């Protein structure tokens, strides 16, 4: 198959594959911290707010999926939230994200960072 015929297919596949990857945790931390420093002026950064919110929600969903897959496979999950809907405000999330050393944040993605945060907040009781 020639590259010319393959190009339109790649245009649709590559963005989907790239969006499935999780943002680096240190990058997320730096961007979120910069946004928070803007205070009320951050409202003018709607695109950045939207991107970070989407990443946070997506990494939370991936962490949840991994936990449910572990439970389904009969393995011990890394965190055990209470029944019902659990939530965490952005201040608490950022405080917990900042508790992960910067060198570690640079090596992990947001899914792993979120899982570690949830492990701290909702440890499994044996």
Q: Are 24 and 110 in contact (CB under 8 A)?
A: yes
Residue 13 domain-assigned (yes or no):
no
Residue 126 domain-assigned (yes or no):
no
* pLDDT (0 to 100) of residue 104: 97
Q: Are 57 and 93 in contact (CB under 8 A)?
A: no
Residue 9 domain-assigned (yes or no):
no
Residue 8 domain-assigned (yes or no):
no
Range of the domain at 66: 23-36+43-121
Residue 3 domain-assigned (yes or no):
no
Residue 10 domain-assigned (yes or no):
no
CA distances in angstroms from 23 to 19, 29, 49, 72, listed in the order given: 9, 10, 14, 27
| Phi, psi of 21, rounded to the nearest 5 degrees | -80, 150
* pLDDT (0 to 100) of residue 66: 97
Take residue 49 and report the two structure tokens written for it: 């707010």
Q: Are 93 and 56 in contact (CB under 8 A)?
A: yes
Residue 55 domain-assigned (yes or no):
yes
Average pLDDT of adjacent 10-residue blocks, the chain of 126 residues:
38 41 89 88 83 93 96 96 88 95 97 96 90
* pLDDT (0 to 100) of residue 3: 39
Number of domains in the chain: 1
Prediction pTM value: 0.78
| Phi, psi of 76, rounded to the nearest 5 degrees | -75, 125
Residue 15 domain-assigned (yes or no):
no
* pLDDT (0 to 100) of residue 54: 94
* pLDDT (0 to 100) of residue 20: 52
């Amino acid at each position: 198959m020639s590259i010319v015929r393959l190009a339109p297919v790649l245009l649709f596949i590559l963005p989907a594959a790239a969006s499935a990857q999780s943002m680096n945790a240190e990058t997320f931390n730096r961007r979120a911290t910069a946004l928070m420093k803007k205070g009320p002026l951050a409202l003018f950064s709607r695109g950045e707010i939207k991107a970070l919110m989407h990443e946070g929600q997506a990494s939370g969903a991936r962490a949840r999926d991994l936990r449910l897959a572990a439970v389904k496979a009969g393995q011990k999950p890394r965190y055990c939230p209470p029944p019902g809907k659990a939530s965490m405000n952005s201040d608490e999330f950022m405080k917990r994200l900042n508790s992960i050393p910067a060198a570690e944040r640079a090596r992990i993605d947001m899914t792993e960072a979120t899982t570690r945060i949830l492990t701290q907040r909702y440890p499994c009781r044996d």
